[in-house]
Amino acid sequence: MKYKRMASLLILAAFLLTGCGFSSERKLISPDEITPAESYKFEKFTFNGITEQPFSALLEAENGQHSGGVSVLTTKSGYSGEGYVDVSDNAGFKLTVDIPSDQFYKITVRHCAGDHKENELLFNGKKVFDIYSEAGDWQETEADGIFLEKGLNTVTLGSGWSWFSIDYIEIENGESVSDSVYSGMSETLSNEYANKKTQNIYQYLRAIYGKRTLAGQCTDYGNNTETDALYQGLGKYPAIRAFDFIFDSPSYPYQNDRPAKDYDLAIEWSKDGGLVVYDWHWHAPCGGADFYTEKTSFRITNAVTEKDIAHMNLDDIKALYDGGEISEEAYKLVSDIDVISGYLQKLEDNNVTVLWRPLHEAAGGWFWWGASGPEDYKWLWRLMYERMTDYHELDNLIWVWNAQDAEWYPGDDYCDIAAIDIYGAAHDYGVSASTLADMNGWSDGDKMVTMSECATMPDPDLIVRDNAYWLWFAVWNWDYIVKDGTTELSGAYTDLDMMKKVYDSEVIITRDELPKF
């Protein structure tokens, strides 16, 4: 039996012996009550317009066109060719390559850096993937399924965090995302007690995965600006709307001015047939009420304890803190989780299933929940999961993990969907196929993958061509979609013609096309 389930049962037994058990109404849903994924029939769209030609090219970085902060060096040992380049200014690096055919390629970049760096690799001004460098010797970043067009292609670096070295860029024949990426997904949710609606939604997500993509939209707090703009401009609502508990943390200093305004909007959205995502920009419980690392001294390291505080009542946790057995950080973490659990319980009471996406973008380090490294982060994720699932018995949650890096994965027992945030350039409608394929290996290969935040809507034609069926995409709010907070679509990132193409596409599911769960 899995450890967390064993722990839960032991705690349940102890509570029953003391007369203080969990809810006696919590029951497993019979499989006969759930609409299985197999009952939904979706035809898969495929692309067959490629005539492959064999190709291989090794582009030595030192042979490119350089200016500004680019230097050709031979100091580091182990390089290929006649040297390598150090890059401190992205604009000063350029290579060219003559591509023989419109087809898929595998691209490998050999690079190194003195510490963690992130840089964008561009072909003809469009990002194909991010180069992640860690401190150490030469390393390779490889991406398959990159579609390049026939003719002269220009290779440059986009925005990023420079100061790294490039040895070479290799291009060879590749393949599009394999259909195997979409097979073998977990048939059930991590919480075996998930309610009927939540399980039905999960089965529907399984049914569309690899065949369709849900349209999603992040929205401003407490209003319908973005969704109203989409409906007024396109005649349709997104299937998914992302809300946020950003101003609902107990430490938020102006909470009384904005108390859980998204709560009523989420209930209304769900009643109207939409799917609900909830994020939590968590203002630190103490040490400075902010979610940015640089603005608070709160660190998970100071909270980590071997005590099973996930399953204790808050008074007992407070007693541990008063007795010096746990830190203030540990006590207040649980206290804050309990407050948000109360909101989530109210949503469950109103029949709202939540695609729950807490502790997002942790690996970037800019949020305090990522400032202490992956092990502390995983401890907090599991604490929150067990507190909400086992102690508070929230059975309306589908757990969406979005730390941005495989090293931060908390384990298959603690999440249901893997997510990543991708911000490309304005009017770049690429679908990041190689990232989707790579993420298939971040878990044990059985978690569906979604693009939980993005700058632009993906082109549905490219979704089909690259076989990159993200479970959903969610465009960020404000100026990414509307003009200055109005309900007028802006076109600043996704032009209006592309928006219409996306929302009218058979590949994309909008709210009006969702079944009743």
Rounded CA separation 356/369 (Å): 16
pLDDT of 91 reads 62
DSSP 8-state secondary structure symbol assigned to residue 313: -
Provide the 3-class DSSP secondary structure of residue 277. Answer: strand
Distinct helix (H) and strand (E) counts, the chain: 10, 20
- What residues contact residue 450 under an 8 Å CB cut-off, 6+ apart? 400, 417, 418, 419, 420, 470, 471, 472, 473
Asked if residues 482 and 488 have their Cβ atoms less than 8 Å apart, the reply is: yes
The CA distances from residue 467 to 145, 213, 334, in Å, are: 9, 11, 42
The pair of structure tokens assigned to 100 is: 């023989």
Partner residues linked to 1 by β-bridges: none
Q: Amino acid letter at 343?
A: Y
How many beta carbons lie within 10 A of that of residue 53, not counting itself?
Answer: 12
* pTM of the complete model beyond 0.85: yes
How confident is the model at residue 7, as a pLDDT?
42
Q: What residues pair up with 141 in beta bridges, in sequence order? A: 109
What amino acid occupies position 222? G
- Average of pLDDT values for 476-481? 97
CA-CA distance, 84 to 78, in Å (whole number)? 10
pLDDT in tens, 23-37: 447 889 999 999 999
Task: Give the residue with greater pLDDT, 89 vs 258.
Answer: 89
* DSSP structural state of residue 390: I
Q: Judge contact between 198 and 486, C-beta under 8 A.
A: no
Is 489:503 a contact under the CB 8 Å cutoff? no
Q: What is the dihedral of CA 106, 111, 113, 117, to 10 degrees?
A: -20
Decide: 184 and 441 in contact? Cβ < 8 Å: no
Could you list the active site residues? 361, 453
Structure confidence at residue 453 as a pLDDT band (50, 70, 90): very high
- H or E segment at 90? none
Q: What domains does the chain contain, in order, with CATH numbers? A: 56-173 (2.60.120.260), 189-513 (3.20.20.80)
Q: Which pLDDT value is given to residue 444? A: 82
Share of the chain above pLDDT 90, in %: 82
pLDDT at residue 21 in the model = 39
pLDDT tens, residue by residue, 97-124? 999 999 999 999 999 999 888 888 999 9
Q: What are phi and psi of 393, to 5 degrees?
A: 55, 45
DSSP states of 141-201: EEEEEEEE-SEEEEEEEEEEE--EEEEEEEEEE--PPPGGGGSS--SS-S-TT--HHHHHH
Tokens in use for 29?
Answer: 């849903």
